[in-house]
Amino acid sequence: MKQQKPKGTQDILPGQSEKWQYVEGVARDVFARYNYAEIRTPLFEHYEVFARSVGDTSDIVTKEMYDFYDKGERHITLRPEGTAGVVRAYVENKLFAPEVQKPVKVYYMGSMFRYERPQAGRLREFHQLGVEAFGSANPATDVETMAMAYQLFQTLGIKNVRLTLNSLGNTESRANYRQALIDYLMPLKASLSKDSQRRLEENPLRVLDSKEPEDKQAVADAPSILDFLDAESQAHFDAVREMLDALAIPYVIDTNMVRGLDYYNHTIFEFITEVNGTDLTICAGGRYDGLVEEFEGPKTPGFGFGLGQERLLMILEAQGIDLPLSSGLDLYVAVLGEEANLAALNLVQAVRQQGFKAERDVLNRKLKAQFKSADAFSAKTLITLGGSEVESGQVTVKNNQTRAEVLATFDEIVADFAGIVAKLG
Ligand code: ATP
Ligand code: MG
Mutational pocket test of ligand 1: of 66, 115, 126, the residue with most ligand atoms within 8 Å of the beta carbon = 126
263 is in an annotated binding site: yes
pLDDT of the chain, 425 residues: tens digit per residue: 889 999 999 999 999 999 999 999 999 999 999 999 999 999 999 999 999 888 877 888 889 999 999 999 999 999 999 999 999 999 999 999 999 999 999 999 999 999 999 998 899 999 999 999 999 999 999 999 999 999 999 999 999 999 999 999 998 999 999 999 999 999 999 999 998 999 898 889 989 988 899 999 999 999 999 999 999 999 999 999 999 999 999 999 999 898 767 788 999 999 999 888 888 999 999 999 999 999 999 999 999 999 999 999 999 999 999 999 978 999 999 999 999 999 999 999 999 999 999 999 999 999 999 999 999 999 999 999 999 999 999 999 999 999 999 999 999 999 999 999 999 97
Among the bound ligands, the one closest to the CA of 210? 1
Amino acid at position 273, single letter: T
Tell me which DSSP letter residue 122 carries. B
Residues 153 and 161: their CA atoms lie apart, in Å, by 8
Q: What distance in angstroms lies between residue 282's CA and the mean position of ligand 2's atoms?
A: 12
Residues 73 and 252: their CA atoms lie apart, in Å, by 48
Rounded to the nearest 10 degrees, how much is the dihedral formed by the CA atoms of 209, 210, 215, 217? 60
121 is in an annotated binding site: no
Q: Which positions ≥6 away from 78 have C-beta within 8 Å?
A: 43, 44, 65, 66, 67, 113
- Cβ 175 vs Cβ 181: under 8 Å: no
Helices (H), 80-163: 83-92, 139-156
- Concatenated DSSP letters of 166-234: EE---HHHHHHHHHHHHHHHGGGGGGS-HHHHHHHHH-THHHHT---HHHHHHHTTPPPGGGG--HHHH
Taking CA atoms only, the protein residue closest to ligand 1 atom 19 is 308
Q: Which atom of ligand 1 is nearest to the CA of 312?
A: 20
Q: What distance in angstroms lies between residue 260's CA and the mean position of ligand 2's atoms?
A: 7
The predicted model scores a pTM of 0.93
Burial of 322 (0-12, 13-18, 19+ CB in 10 A): exposed
Residues 277 and 274: their CA atoms lie apart, in Å, by 6
Domains and CATH numbers, the chain: 17-170+230-318 (3.30.930.10), 331-423 (3.40.50.800)
Structure confidence by residue, pLDDT tens digits, 328-378 = 999 999 999 999 999 999 999 999 999 999 999 999 999 999 999 999 999
Taking CA atoms only, the protein residue closest to ligand 1 atom 14 is 306
Instruction: For residue 359, count other CB atoms closer than 10 A to its CB.
Output: 18
Q: What distance in angstroms lies between residue 116's CA and the mean position of ligand 1's atoms?
A: 10
